[in-house]
Amino acid sequence: MQQAHARSADNAVDDLFARFGAPAFVPQPGPDNTPTLWVDRQQVLEVLAHLKPRFPMLLDLFGMDERLREHKPAGAADFTVVYHLLNIAGREEIRLKVAMTAADPSVPSAVDIWPNANWYEREAWDMYGITFTGHPNLRRILLPPTWEGHALRKDHPARATEMEPFSLDQEKQDAEQEALLFRPEEWGMARATADTEFMFLNLGPNHPSVHGVFRIALQLDGEVVVDAVPDIGYHHRGAEKMGERQTWHSFIPYTDRIDYLGGVMNNLAYVMAVETLAGISVPDRAKVIRIMLAELFRISSHLVFYGTFAQDVGQMSPVFYMFADRERLFGIIEAITGGRMHPAWFRIGGVAQDLPRGWEQLVREFIDGMPARLDQYQVMAMDNSILKQRTVDIGSYSTAEALEWGITGPSLRATGMDFDLRRDRPYGGYDQFEFEVPVGHKGDSYDRAVVRVEEIRQSLRIVRQCLDNMPAGPYKSDHRLTTPPPKERTLQDIETLIHHFLNVSWGPVVPAGEASFPIEATKGINSYHLVSDGGTSAYRTRIRTPSFPALQQIPLISRGLMIPDLIAIIASIDFVMADVDR
């Protein structure tokens, strides 16, 4: 499968070479299977437009500061913009890179090719000061409009202690207050037409139904949404910047808090990228333990979705039953990992500990009891006619639209697209499991829920297979970067002692290179693009999350509907603000 994938992607490269000539590109070899090409910025739009029919989805677009990088790849300059494209039907990916000098960090905007480039380019501008010429609305997106500098540049301080002490004088306060004023024109909305004066409603950042700190500025005509402009960044914690300071191991707990309902699912995306980078293979038992835990967290995350989905359309009770189930699940996770929502339990090369005695009993009780309860929930929530009235045909989009906007995971499958990374490009041992990939057909709010509910059942199936076929063996890879030498031997010779000392005090040194590893996380495709400069921490950590593009699409699917519909749409998207803002 891996080789087949590599071969078909090479065809895309050959195709490019045939169309534009091989000298137009500088290939960059890497440990992952995604071909990477450097391309001149004069030509990049042409190349992207040529690739679009073959790669309908812009999976990710991000910036990078190369100025302090020692192991610069051929083709790199001061700043880089990376385009990561995904071809779902052909199961292939390609990465394009554009180099820029610090004197002129600009590149033409790809918004006309992929609409979801809009937010990604704003983010790259916000973080690196890279200008995207032709971008319709190049404003800050994650940081406040009054922020000075570009936070992910290498010369921007990472900690408050590296900066001047903060003070808020009157002038500054007035400026901040001024910046908070809402002017519809700045958001691209008109105050009135010839015959209608609009009402503007500020939904969020604190509102019962926005699932965190998320703000939508609504342009209303009565209760009908004329336009909706999402505003994000209230949950931004600089996770990518932290990735440049933390060691490869000590960044793992930070990943837990990206999709904070996904728990170890985040660890999985991260450690698999590190393992790809360092060429570490994981023993079978660790693989199965990881899959089991990841699927348990998928169930947990989907249960939260299920309950809040029903709650947001006004049904009061289901959320309590689903949270009770989630509590049962946390009991198991606590027994295995010691943590609940954020166990930070996966390690590079395996997991932190072996499974505790008696884990089978706990897991079996849960997966035996769950299907009957899901049947009850089906009758209570999904079959309810009012719930259907509220969600069927509300906020629907087609598969083509979903691909254009970078929608992945259950929200993509709800449109009828039969695609799941676990089955179609199996990673971490998923090829050994039997499960089905549920799909919807309308792509409306109701289908998005139906797909997730069915995924709970499929995850239970996977967990049962883990339970019945848990292999024996080590739970951690015997690799010098993951496991320190045995303690007894450190007392005998200096070689193992010094290795042990360095591994424990510094952490592993991962060889220079770049790798990303997309996985099917709870809410869609999550991937960490890691750049190592041969140090004890990442040179660049890019986190591609499924929630970010999902929010960008909200205006498209909510125009012309009413406020309660917007709430139903928000409920059906299943996003987490930390997963959006990082």
Interface ranges with other proteins (CB under 8 A): 199, 201, 207-209, 222-223, 310-317, 320-321, 324, 380, 384, 386-387, 389-390, 562-565, 567
Q: How far is the CB of 201 from other proteins (least distance, A)?
A: 5
Residue among 380 and 470 whose Cβ is closer to other proteins? 380
C-alpha neighbours within 13 Å on the C-beta side of residue 535: 17
H runs (alpha helix) in 232-283? 239-243, 252-256, 264-278
Q: How far is the CB of 176 from other proteins (least distance, A)?
A: 22
Residue among 249 and 390 whose Cβ is closer to other proteins? 390
What is the number of other CB atoms lying within 10 angstroms of the CB of residue 541? 25
Q: How far is the CB of 518 from other proteins (least distance, A)?
A: 34
What are the residues facing 44 on neighbouring strands? none
Show Cβ contacts of residue 203 under 8 Å, excluding neighbours closer than 6 positions: 210, 215, 216, 217, 218, 566
Structure tokens at 177: 């207050």
Q: How far is the CB of 313 from other proteins (least distance, A)?
A: 5
**Phi, psi torsion values for 92, nearest 5 degrees:** -135, 160
Q: How far is the CB of 312 from other proteins (least distance, A)?
A: 5
36-53 b/e (C-beta count within 10 Å ≥ 16 → b): bbbbeeeebbebbeebbe
Tell me the C-alpha distance between 317 and 311, whole Å: 8
Amino acid found at 110: A
**Cβ contacts of 374-378, under 8 Å, gap ≥ 24:** 374/453, 374/456, 374/457, 376/321, 377/306, 377/318, 377/321, 377/322, 377/453, 378/453
What are the residues facing 457 on neighbouring strands? none
Amino acid found at 90: G
Residue among 209 and 532 whose Cβ is closer to other proteins? 209
> Per residue, what are the HEC states of 466-515?
HHHCCCCCCCECCCCCCCCCCHHHHCCCHHHHHHHHHHHHCCCCCCCEEE
Q: How far is the CB of 383 from other proteins (least distance, A)?
A: 12
Q: How far is the CB of 316 from other proteins (least distance, A)?
A: 6
Q: How far is the CB of 426 from other proteins (least distance, A)?
A: 38
Instruction: Using DSSP, state whether 147 is helix, strand or coil.
Output: coil
Residue among 317 and 492 whose Cβ is closer to other proteins? 317
CA 44 to chain centre: 25
Structure tokens at 495: 């070689």
Residue among 337 and 558 whose Cβ is closer to other proteins? 558
The burial of 71, by beta-carbon neighbours within 10 Å (0-12 exposed, 13-18 middle, 19 or more buried), is given as middle
Residue among 471 and 564 whose Cβ is closer to other proteins? 564
Residue among 84 and 326 whose Cβ is closer to other proteins? 326
Q: How far is the CB of 354 from other proteins (least distance, A)?
A: 34
Structure tokens at 73: 């790849």
Residue among 502 and 562 whose Cβ is closer to other proteins? 562
Tell me the C-alpha distance between 556 and 321, whole Å: 33
Q: How far is the CB of 567 from other proteins (least distance, A)?
A: 5
Residue among 353 and 384 whose Cβ is closer to other proteins? 384
Amino acid found at 376: Q
Structure tokens at 16: 């490019």
Residue among 89 and 386 whose Cβ is closer to other proteins? 386
